[in-house]
Amino acid sequence: DAGVTQSPTHLIKTRGQQVTLRCSPKSGHDTVSWYQQALGQGPQFIFQYYEEEERQRGNFPDRFSGHQFPNYSSELNVNALLLGDSALYLCASTHRDQGTQYFGPGTRLLVL
């Protein structure tokens, strides 16, 4: 049973560029959440997708957007990258009735 997978594992971008991160949920899961974990901090909630709609959003600017596909996989897009966007981006999946979020290994983004 494959767990949550994310790609790429590492990414280096420059300020002002755009980036797309990808996530495949655990088998049987239909809900995907994205978190940003800055160095030395706990993960911060970005948004959650269910039935291809953004269901809940944290305190992140509109530069952060997402998408969920019919197969439940998801993308996180960040436009106009800032140095402060450098972080580990975590994807978590769950089944709507279960509640426990299972995390992928993350994508480490470095903005130069």
Contact residues for another protein, defined by CB under 8 A: 4, 6, 31, 33, 35, 41-45, 48, 50, 55-56, 58, 90, 92, 94, 96-106, 108
Q: Which residues of 18-86 form beta strands (DSSP E)? A: 19-24, 31-37, 44-50, 53-57, 64-68, 74-78
Beta carbon nearer to another protein, 20 or 88: 88
Residue 63 CA from chain centroid, whole number: 13
Beta carbon nearer to another protein, 22 or 105: 105
Of 106, 111, 87, nearest in space to 37 by CA: 87
Strand partners, 102: 93
Beta carbon nearer to another protein, 86 or 103: 103
Q: How far is the CB of 21 from another protein (least distance, A)?
A: 13
Q: How far is the CB of 9 from another protein (least distance, A)?
A: 9
Contact between 15 and 84 (Cβ < 8 Å): no
Beta carbon nearer to another protein, 35 or 72: 35
Side chain identity at residue 62, one-letter code: D
Q: How far is the CB of 87 from another protein (least distance, A)?
A: 13
